[in-house]
Each structure stands twice: as C-alpha cells, then as structure tokens.
C-alpha cells in the first residue's frame, strides 16, 4: 500500500465514513486517462431503502441557476466529469433549476456514467411556459409527468432518488408518497426524498413509502434541523443531505459587502442575509472559521464542510461550485476530523456572533417547514 493510499484509509477512518471504496471511474476525459481515486462513502436511509453515495455530493444547481455568472457549457461538463474522476457519486439537480437546463446539463455530462454514479432530482414546483410560478404542484399526475420528463433530460432509465422539492398545501403528503411508491414499483424511481418539511410530515410520508433522505438547509449559520428533523431522521433511519452547506458560498470567505450578485440569475440579491449590511456583520462568523482553520492548515470552506460531516455518519453535504480548485478544496473536507473539543470550540465561537438577516424573504419562508 503506498503512502497516499495509507493516509487516505487512516483519514477516512477518522472521519467515521461509513464505507470506503474505489469509487472514481476510470475514464478518458479530454483525451487523458484518469486514475480512479479513493473517496469515502456514506449510506443514506436504511434496509431496502439504503442508498450508498460518496460522503460529499455535488450540487449542480449553481452551474446554471441562482448563482450568477458561470463558465460555458463545455467547461461545466468537464468539471462535472472531473468530480466523477475524483470519486463523487452523488449529483443533485431539479426540474425547476433553469427550469430544465440544469437537468439537461447533468444529463449531457453524466449519463455516460449511469449505474456508477447517481443524479438525484426533484419535483413539485409549478412551471408554466418554462417559468416557475412560485406555486407548488405535487398532484400525482404532475409528479408522474416530471418523472418521465426528468428521465429524458437526464438520459437515464431510473431516478435513483426523487425528492418533493417543496410541500404542496393542496395535496396530502400521503398522496405524494403513494405516487412515488407507484413509480418505485414501476421501476422509474429507486428512492424517495423530501425537502424542508416538518417532522410530522416526514413521519406521515415515511408510513406510506419509506423515505431515504431529507434535503434541507443546514450549516453553521442555520442549525434549525438539529431540533426536530435530525432526531426524527435518526429514529426512522433516514439520511440527511444538507443543501447550501456553505450558506450559498458565504462560509467559503470569498463574498464581501462589495460582491455584486447578477440580478438576472442570482437569487442571493433577494435574500435578507446577503444585503451589504448583513454581509458586513456576518463576516465576523467567517473570520472565526478562518481563525480556526489557520492553525490547522485548512480553509474556511473545509471547516464548514468537515463540521457538517462530523455531525452524523449519515449526513452527505452537496456543495456546488464552478471551479476545479474549489471542488478539490471541498472534497478534502472528507479527510478532516475534529475532536469533540474542537467541534465545541468552533460552535461556541460561531454562536457568540449574532446572525444578521433572515435566510429567506417572507414569501419563500412560508413554503418551508410544513
Ligand atoms: N432542496 C432545496 O430546496 C435546495 C435549495 C438550494 C440548493 N439546493 C441544492 O444544494 C446545492 C448547493 O447549494 P448552493 O449552491 O445554494 O450553496 P453552497 O454549496 O453552499 O454554495 C455554492 C457557492 O459557494 C461557492 N463555493 C464553493 N466552494 C467554495 C470554496 N471552497 N470556497 C469559496 N466559495 C466556494 C460557489 O462558487 P464557485 O462557483 O466560485 O466555487 C457557489 O457560488 C445546489 O446545487 C442544489 O443542488 C437545494
């Protein structure tokens, strides 16, 4: 066993990663043969509903939606394939991202790896004339329609994990779970997930169709899920996928009060936590991450991701990026382990700072937590 391999096994053991497999896929990218990499795996869900994935996934959304300017399509496709080469097996998208174009991008870049990696997607936003209306639509016929269309856009035969994106007040969660259960029986979907729902909704859905993963916002600046959601996941054997694990890039430390968010394609300029005043105040939190990381030779983003990974062995964050350097930086977080004292230290330092600005504007906040 060479030194790198030994180091990797040692570090993966330290992170409590559930499994460690050779997950990188040997393929020819841009004319170069890439050597498979070792990357720790984790398991979302339990029993028949278990879903094994890389310990860190890749959030595809920001490559074309809500995160401003981005590289051109060939560069994005190359980066997604570089993530596969580095052992990422979980890629996350949704019908609403674009709409449609983000799923198309994932399909074009990743369908050649089907059965080796997974692209998860989501249904439930109402889309009319290729535009999200801001309303929900989880009626059974719409869930079925989205499944068929997503399969085509992703160029796959089965969706490994299909999430309801937002709770629909007009459709009972039992009907939603029942429809996904039928899609599973028909072989079009493998696993069921929900986003930003209450513990009560998780229990009701799980009684009809066991849930494999809850995907909700979770990071050092938003820890609400620790109260009820993580305990219910633990009790029912459901995995957890923190979205926006870097608080939409903020915890990475590149954003300042002078950062301009593209008004056409970046929702951060609508979020109260991203006004110049809120950013200026909240940078005190990022400085704590920098301070903590400096003495350990790691970056603020790595502190944020390693902290999430340390919370539970069934947590799989899905950071998004448009840069190879950030991808590699983020993946290294899976090699970092903190002692209980270190975890307490960073949590105490962050909790002493007031967080300025809500995470969502009032209208979007009304759609979560049901
Ligand atoms: N279920 C839901 O309702 C929901 C909602 C939102 C998001 N999501 C999912 O979660 C995924 C990630 O969410 P997100 O994009 O909102 O947030 P995120 O992963 O917290 O942040 C992404 C941003 O961070 C920057 N970044 C990444 N690595 C960095 C690093 N090491 N240092 C500094 N900056 C870094 C990226 O910019 P660069 O391109 O410059 O790296 C990008 O703008 C999405 O792709 C989507 O799949 C789900």
pLDDT attached to residue 110: 98
- Structure-token match 């290294």, residue found: 332
Q: Which parts of the chain register pLDDT below 50?
A: 1-18, 21-36
Regarding the beta carbon of 92 and ligand 1, being less than 6 Å apart is answered yes
> What backbone phi and psi angles, to 5 degrees, belong to 219?
-170, 180
For this structure, is 65 an active site residue? no
Give me the half-sphere count of Cα atoms (radius 13 Å) on the Cβ side of residue 183: 30
Q: Whole-model pTM above 0.85?
A: yes
pLDDT at 28: 38
Cα–Cα distance measured from residue 223 to residue 71, given in angstroms and rounded to the nearest whole number: 32
At residue 186, φ and ψ (nearest 5 deg) are -80, -5
- 38 φ/ψ angles, rounded to the nearest 5 degrees: -90, 135
What is the C-alpha separation between 56 and 334, in angstroms, rounded? 7
Beta strands in 207-365 (DSSP E): 213-217, 239-243
The pLDDT value given to residue 37: 52
60 lines ligand 1 (CB under 6 A): yes
Atom 48 of ligand 1 has which residue's CA nearest to it? 243
Query: Could you tell me how many residues make up the chain?
Result: 370
Could you tell me if the CB of 67 is within 6 A of ligand 1?
Answer: yes
Q: How far is the CA of 23 from the centre of ligand 1 (A)?
A: 23
Fold (CATH) for 3-365: TIM Barrel (3.20.20)
The whole-chain average pLDDT of the chain stands at 92
CB 350 within 8 A of CB 288: yes
CA dihedral 328, 330, 333, 335 (to 10 degrees): -20
> How many Cα atoms sit within 13 Å of 88 on the Cβ side?
27
Report the pLDDT value the prediction gives residue 308, as an integer from 0 to 100: 98
CA 250 – ligand 1 centroid, Å: 9
- Summarised one tens digit per residue, pLDDT across range 24-55 is 444 434 444 444 457 999 999 999 999 999 99
Distance 174 CA to ligand 1 centre (A): 31
Active-site residue, selected from the candidate residues 97, 163, 218, 243: 97
**pLDDT tens, residue by residue, 242-259:** 999 999 999 999 999 999
């Amino acid at each position: 066993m060479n030194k790198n391999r030994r180091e990797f096994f040692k570090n993966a053991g330290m992170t409590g990663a559930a499994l460690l497999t050779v997950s990188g896929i040997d393929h020819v990218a841009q004319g170069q043969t890439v050597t498979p990499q070792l990357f720790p795996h984790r398991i979302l869900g339990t029993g028949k509903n278990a879903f094994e994935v890389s310990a860190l996934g890749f959030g595809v959304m920001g490559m074309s939606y809500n995160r401003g300017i981005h590289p051109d399509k060939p560069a994005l496709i190359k980066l997604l394939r570089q993530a596969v080469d580095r052992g990422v097996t979980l890629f996350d998208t949704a019908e609403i991202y674009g709409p449609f174009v983000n799923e198309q991008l994932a399909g074009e870049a990743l369908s050649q790896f089907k059965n080796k990696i997974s692209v998860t997607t989501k249904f439930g936003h109402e889309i009319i004339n290729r535009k999200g209306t801001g309303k929900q639509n989880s009626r059974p016929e719409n869930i079925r329609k989205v499944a068929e269309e997503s399969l085509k856009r992703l160029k796959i035969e089965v969706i490994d994990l299909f999430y309801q994106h937002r709770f629909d007040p007009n459709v009972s969660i039992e009907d939603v779970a029942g429809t996904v259960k039928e899609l599973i029986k028909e072989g079009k979907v493998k696993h069921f997930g929900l986003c930003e729902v209450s513990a009560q909704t998780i229990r009701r859905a799980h009684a009809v169709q066991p849930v494999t993963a809850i995907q909700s916002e979770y990071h050092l600046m938003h820890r609400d899920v620790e109260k009820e959601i993580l305990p219910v996941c633990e009790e029912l054997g459901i995995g957890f996928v923190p979205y926006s694990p870097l608080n939409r890039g903020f915890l990475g430390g590149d954003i300042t009060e002078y950062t301009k968010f593209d008004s056409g394609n970046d929702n951060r300029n609508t979020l109260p936590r991203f006004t110049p005043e809120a950013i200026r105040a909240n940078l005190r939190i990022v400085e704590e991450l920098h301070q903590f990381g400096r003495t350990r030779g790691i970056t603020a983003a790595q502190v944020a991701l390693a902290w999430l990974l340390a919370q539970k062995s069934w947590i799989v964050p899905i950071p998004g990026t448009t840069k190879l350097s950030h991808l590699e930086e983020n993946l290294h977080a899976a090699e970092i382990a903190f002692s209980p004292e270190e975890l307490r230290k960073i949590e105490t330092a962050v909790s002493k700072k007031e967080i300025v600005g809500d995470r969502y504007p009032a209208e979007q906040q009304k759609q979560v937590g049901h």
